[in-house]
Amino acid sequence: MSRWDASKIPELDGKVALVTGANSGLGLETSVLLAGAGARVILACRNRSRAEAAAARVGPGAEIVEVDLASLKSVAESARAVASRVDRLDILVLNAGLMAVDRARTKDGFEMQFGVNHLGHFALTAGLAPLVTAAPAARVVSVSSMGHRPGRLDFGDLMFELRRYDRWRPYFASKLANLLFAAELERRLRRAGLAAQSLAAHPGATATDLGHEGTGITNALLRPGGRLAQPVRIGALPIVRAATDPGARGGEFYGPQYRLAGYPVLETPSRRARNVADAARLWQESERLTGLRLLP
* pLDDT at position 218: 40
- Burial classification of residue 16, based on how many CB atoms lie within 10 Å of its CB (0-12 exposed, 13-18 middle, 19 or more buried): buried
In terms of DSSP bridges, do strands 264-267 and 40-45 run parallel, antiparallel, or are they unpaired? unpaired
* pLDDT at position 219: 40
* pTM score over 0.85: yes
Q: What is the Cα–Cα distance from 64 to 4, expressed in whole angstroms?
A: 29
Catalytic pick from 165, 171, 258, 263? 171
Q: Is 263 one of the annotated active-site residues of the chain?
A: no
Map out the domains of the chain with their CATH numbers: 6-203+231-290 (3.40.50.720)
Q: What is the Cα–Cα distance from 237 to 50, expressed in whole angstroms?
A: 23
* Residues with Cβ within 8 Å of residue 221, at least 6 apart in sequence: none
* Residues with Cβ within 8 Å of residue 20, at least 6 apart in sequence: 27, 44, 45, 67, 69, 93, 94, 95, 96, 121, 124
Closest CA to 86 of 22, 41, 139: 41
| pLDDT by residue, tens only, the chain of 296 residues | 689 999 999 999 999 999 999 999 999 999 999 999 999 999 999 999 999 999 999 998 899 999 999 999 999 999 999 999 999 999 999 999 999 999 999 999 999 999 999 999 999 999 999 999 999 999 999 999 999 999 999 999 999 999 899 999 999 999 999 999 999 999 999 999 999 999 999 999 998 776 445 444 444 444 444 446 899 999 999 999 999 999 999 999 999 998 899 999 999 999 999 999 999 999 999 999 999 999 98
* pLDDT at position 209: 73
Q: What is the DSSP string of the chain?
A: -----GGGPPP-TT-EEEEETTTSHHHHHHHHHHHHTT-EEEEEES-HHHHHHHHHHH-TT-EEEE--TT-HHHHHHHHHHHHTT-S--SEEEE-----SPPS-B-TTS-BHHHIIIIIIHHHHHHHHHHHHHHSSS-EEEEE--GGGTT----TT-TT-SSS---SHHHHHHHHHHHHHHHHHHHHHHHHTT-S-EEEEE---SB-SSTT-SS-SHHHHHHHHHGGGSBPHHHHTHHHHHHHH-TT--TT-EEEETTSSSSSEEEEPPPTGGG-HHHHHHHHHHHHHHHT-----
Sheet (strand 253-256) strand order: 63-66, 40-45, 16-20, 91-94, 139-143, 197-201, 253-256, 264-267
* pLDDT at position 213: 53
How far is the first Cα of the chain from the last one, in angstroms, to the nearest whole number? 40
* pLDDT at position 223: 42
